[in-house]
Chain A
């Protein structure tokens, strides 16, 4: 893999990259490669007839340059990609790309690394893909995240405005995520807000599902354009369906079988986590289908409710994670709207009962036309 040692372009032209040979070196058979292409067509909801086209696109040695930027983040998305249980598949696509800059995995350091990025931005202007991980702080001129003496805001504007397309990986880069959670001390925002003019496709999630990143890249290589997105800039193939509607615990929801206590028999039997605060009914992501770590499992599958991590402002709006409804401000924690409402209804009934008693004791209401009221 070319990890941006500053000579990426020249090496590329000398060596003449060959995907089938590269795969053979890794012990990936043609059959495995075609299986991967078929899985990608399924992930993208494309017909089987397009599998040869996907294979041809991946074997093409176009090798678009990629700049992977990381700002306010926990590196979880890089980790998700690098620690995939079966890295060969992810590396198929990474082999097809020329990663000119990625702080976590590049060999180069310091000015050499920065030069590699500058070179791609200048020489491949309008042709490279930017992948951004982490939020961009805007407050106080963006001083809360600086790399090589330049602010994240400065770098993201330069890189993303010159990119053919930007893919944001994870909720932080998409919508600000955890750094943007209230009170958002650094004024963190997602890439689209930091660079409104950029062409951005959002892949939120905490972390991003590597399959969705790979599928987005495959779509781009196959069709030369980004996949269709929803109102929040997320590809419809991955975020078009609600978690609740594809959940393996859904039959228990419809039947009326709920987990009420962690570790109870209902919990062990895989009943619905709705009462435990699962946000699956309001979160759009393909977790139940794609799952994580080579389709091993996903949060709800392992007995934990969905936290709604692929929705904007999830940390502020989906909390508390283990309750259905948010706390009501001014009423202390753990006071739900329903407790307050029931109290209100009881208070209303009590107030009117008292009014009724007083009214019942007042016999001589004045019924004449000009009754002035007052004491009688």
Chain B
């Protein structure tokens, strides 16, 4: 490693929209989960009926929901105009033979079958494929969330747009899905933080600091 460090240079990996949407997602998912757990199973907070505790918590939940939806949609748009590290191809590595090979290498490392650490500059292939799944879960959350939200105005445009969901999945089924998917995303967050920490330690590629500053140290010129 000693000699190769001399050839290190900075690569601009995560552009501003990638970092902004990442942190907006972190913030909104944290707010949405905390407020959502309260809305799903509230405890009595107010001393008098003139309080508005649940009202404000729901207001925060809905506002964070809009923030999250805008962030996710922006990130999806960005994946078509961004640099290659954040582009849509990163999320479908299984479409190419090389991508499948990279996925297998990463999987082998994670499961202790191999000691070789892949050193991708952007996402590793397995992470990219996982984020595709996570974005699908995001869309499930946005769709179920806004469908339930639309019920406050059954003759409004949002209900006209999403009302078909009730006929297909039943009202309670949509609620159930909204709750379960939250837990899947919390499970993902645990995995995501752990894997970032693991890779930061093992790869020594500064993956954690890269989501703050955008740059990663890489070997050699591209």
- Name A residues whose Cβ lies closer than 8 Å to a Cβ of B: 230-231, 240, 242, 245, 251-258, 260, 266, 271, 274-275, 281-282, 284, 311, 313, 317-318, 324-326, 328, 336-338, 340-342, 344-345, 348-349, 352, 355-356, 358-359, 362, 364-367, 371-374, 376
Contacts and interface: CB of A to CB of B under 8 A. Distances in A.
Nearest to A366: B115
Contact of B40 (A257, A338, A355): A338
Contact of A341 (B44, B46, B112, B182): B182
A338 B49 contact: no
A271 B173 contact: no
Interface of B: 1, 37, 40-46, 48-55, 57, 108-110, 112-117, 151-152, 154-155, 163, 170-173, 175-176, 179-180, 182-184, 186-187, 190-191, 194, 197-198, 201-202
B190 A345 contact: yes
Nearest to B58: A254
12 contacts: A255-B53, A256-B57, A275-B41, A313-B170, A318-B172, A336-B179, A352-B194, A356-B198, A358-B112, A359-B202, A371-B116, A374-B115
Contacts of A281: 151
Contacts of A328: 176, 180
Contact of A258 (B43, B113, B190): B43
A57 B44 CA distance: 52
B120 to A, nearest CB: 14
Nearest to A320: B172
Contacts of A231: 163
Contacts of B202: 359, 365
B41 A311 contact: no
Given A255-B49, A324-B40, A352 B179 contact: no
B172 A371 contact: no
Nearest to B50: A255
B152 A242 contact: yes
A371 B115 contact: yes
A337 B114 contact: no
A350 to B, nearest CB: 10
Nearest to B148: A282
A332 to B, nearest CB: 16
Contact of B52 (A240, A254, A282, A359): A254
A375 to B, nearest CB: 9
4 A-B pairs closest in CB distance? A341-B183, A373-B114, A256-B53, A371-B116
Nearest to A317: B170
Contact of A255 (B41, B52, B116, B163): B52
